[in-house]
């Protein structure tokens, strides 16, 4: 049953996030009600299709919604213009029009690709996010950022395009690997540190239930995370200011992903990046040491890395220099002026180098 509904209030682009347990059977009724569509392109990959395709198709059949299946490759390789072009081709060949809809069934890669295609096909077609990974449920499916990659950078080609609705079934998290589940928890931990209570206490007090993937507590923390992101997106849909706080832990995190050749997944890299951001906040007199230790404790609690070793900071600085140029001349970090109070600051090279050298030696 649907346990929670989160509203994302964006004027004529407003939508709802439906959150529940074993609720895929109800998705078609909601799509029909919110989109008015009687035909949908179901974009997913073979792995997710094997797990959940029959449930979604059965629901569509009951409501009389016709569908065409479009399978895309698994993994980051699917987020490319070449794959998008193939999807456009299938939509054109199958006669899809603006009155139809796209359903994105899968993780963040599928959601990003399908959303990008939806935003550009016939100048915009309705799309529905049905995220099946924890990372996608609390992050990429909400907020309307959709993109594909370019050989010179991730997410370099994209748009802002809000879904018609987001439909989250936490039961799909039962099939995630331990590593992917932990990676999704990193983003929830991020929300806890930038917002504070009550999510931060909940993560500590109900850790065993969360780790056991109890659907009731999962529904609760997914709802709280989506509510935090929705509040920020409502205030800054186009990422011109406040929305930057969602990048807590991401500045060094992106560099870790790049320098390690993606040996660390996104959540693992962000977890390390959050500890560094906390240490940098302490070094600059913004955060108390006990709150830095709280970062380590909560991150360790969920089996995520809180440090790393590196013999040199040079490669990290090179990656962050590229970000620096994109942000017009300063290393921009999201820091904490106390837990629950994120601030965006430019950090000079000397402070950054000293903090980074100390942090990487600690690991």
Please state which of the ranges 7-11, 115-119, 310-314, 349-353 shows the lowest mean pLDDT. Answer: 310-314
Domain span(s) for CATH 1.20.1090.10 in the chain: 178-362
Mean pLDDT estimate for the chain: 94
Phi, psi of 272 (to 5 degrees): -65, -40
Q: Nearest Cα to 15, choosing from 111, 126, 119?
A: 126
- Please report the pLDDT score of residue 162 as a whole number: 98
CB 331 within 8 A of CB 352: yes
Rounded CA separation 276/298 (Å): 14
Q: Nearest Cα to 225, choosing from 278, 261, 189?
A: 189
Q: pTM for this structure?
A: 0.94
Residue 130 has pLDDT above 90, yes or no: yes
Rounded CA separation 16/26 (Å): 15
- Please report the pLDDT score of residue 328 as a whole number: 53
- Please report the pLDDT score of residue 325 as a whole number: 47
The rounded percent of the chain whose pLDDT value lies above 70 is 97
Structure tokens at 169: 């079934």
Residue 334 has pLDDT above 70, yes or no: yes
Residue with token string 């000079």: 348
Residue with token string 């990046």: 273
Residue with token string 């370099």: 156
The rounded percent of the chain whose pLDDT value lies above 90 is 81
Rounded CA separation 91/84 (Å): 11
Residue 167 has pLDDT above 90, yes or no: yes
- Please report the pLDDT score of residue 152 as a whole number: 80
How do residues 246-273 score in pLDDT, each as one tens digit? 999 999 999 999 898 889 999 999 999 9
Strand duo 126-131 + 165-169: pairing: parallel
How do residues 266-303 score in pLDDT, each as one tens digit? 999 999 999 999 999 999 999 999 999 999 999 999 99
How do residues 350-361 score in pLDDT, each as one tens digit? 899 999 999 987
Q: Outline where DSSP puts E strands in 134-234.
A: 145-150, 153-160, 165-169
Phi, psi of 249 (to 5 degrees): 85, -5
Please compute the mean of the pLDDT values over residues 46-71 and round it to a whole number.
96
How do residues 136-146 score in pLDDT, each as one tens digit? 999 999 999 99
Strand partners of residue 345: 333
Work out the angle between the directed axes of helices 108-120 and 81-93 (0-180°, nearest 10): 60
CATH 2.60.40.10 fits 2-175, yes or no: no
Helix%, strand%, coil% for the chain, nearest 5: 55, 20, 25
Q: Nearest Cα to 226, choosing from 65, 8, 51?
A: 8
Q: Nearest Cα to 331, choosing from 343, 315, 344, 346?
A: 346
Please compute the mean of the pLDDT values over residues 310-327 and round it to a whole number.
75
Rounded CA separation 159/144 (Å): 8
Domain span(s) for CATH 3.40.50.1970 in the chain: 2-175
Residue 113 has pLDDT above 90, yes or no: yes
- Please report the pLDDT score of residue 363 as a whole number: 61
Rounded CA separation 332/298 (Å): 25
> What is the rounded radius of gyration, in angstroms, for the C-alpha atoms of the chain?
20
DSSP codes of every residue in 192-253: HHHH-TTHHHHHHHTHHHHHTT-HHHHHHHHHHHHHHHHHHHHH-TT-SSGGGGGGTTHHHH
How do residues 27-49 score in pLDDT, each as one tens digit? 998 888 888 878 999 999 999 99
Q: HSE-up of 89 (CA within 13 Å, CB side)?
A: 8
* N residues, the chain: 363
Give domain 178-362's CATH number out of 3.30.300.30, 1.10.1280.10, 2.120.10.70, 1.20.1090.10.
1.20.1090.10
Phi-psi category of 356—alpha, beta or left, where left has phi over 0 and alpha has psi -120 to 50? alpha
Q: Nearest Cα to 185, choosing from 138, 132, 248?
A: 138
CB 187 within 8 A of CB 139: yes
């Amino acid at each position: 049953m649907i346990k929670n509904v989160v509203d994302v209030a964006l004027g004529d682009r407003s939508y709802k996030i439906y959150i529940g347990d074993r609720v895929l059977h109800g998705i078609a009724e909601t799509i029909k009600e919110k989109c008015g569509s009687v035909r949908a392109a179901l974009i997913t990959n073979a792995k997710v299709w094997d797990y959940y395709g029959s449930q979604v198709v059965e629901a569509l059949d009951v409501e009389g919604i016709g569908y065409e299946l479009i399978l895309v490759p698994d993994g980051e390789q699917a987020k490319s213009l070449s794959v998008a072009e193939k999807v456009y081709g299938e939509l054109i060949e199958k006669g899809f029009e603006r009155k139809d809809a796209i359903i994105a069934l899968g993780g963040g890669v599928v959601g990003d690709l399908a959303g990008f295609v939806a935003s550009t096909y016939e100048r915009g077609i309705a799309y529905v996010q049905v995220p099946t990974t924890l990372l996608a449920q609390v992050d990429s499916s909400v907020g309307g950022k959709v993109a594909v990659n370019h050989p010179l950078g991730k997410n370099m080609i994209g748009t802002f395009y809000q879904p018609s609705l987001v439909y989250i079934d936490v039961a799909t998290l039962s099939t995630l690997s331990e590593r992917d589940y932990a990676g999704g928890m990193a983003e929830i931990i991020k929300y806890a540190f930038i917002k504070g209570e009550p999510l931060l206490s909940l993560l500590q007090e109900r850790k065993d239930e969360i780790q056991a993937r109890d659907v009731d507590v999962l529904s609760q923390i997914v709802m709280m995370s989506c509510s935090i992101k929705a509040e920020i997106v409502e205030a800054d849909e186009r990422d011109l200011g406040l929305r930057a706080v969602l990048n807590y832990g991401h500045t060094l995190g992106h560099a870790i992903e790049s320098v390690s050749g993606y040996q660390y997944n996104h959540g693992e890299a962000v977890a390390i990046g959050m500890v560094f951001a906390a240490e940098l906040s302490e070094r600059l007199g913004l955060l108390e040491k006990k709150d830095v230790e709280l970062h380590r404790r909560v991150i360790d609690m969920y089996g995520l890395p809180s440090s790393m070793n590196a013999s040199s900071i040079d490669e990290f600085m090179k990656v962050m220099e590229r970000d620096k140029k994109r942000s017009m001349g300063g290393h921009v970090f999201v820091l904490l002026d106390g837990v629950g109070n994120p601030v965006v600051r430019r950090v000079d090279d000397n402070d950054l180098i000293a903090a980074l050298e100390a942090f990487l030696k600690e690991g």
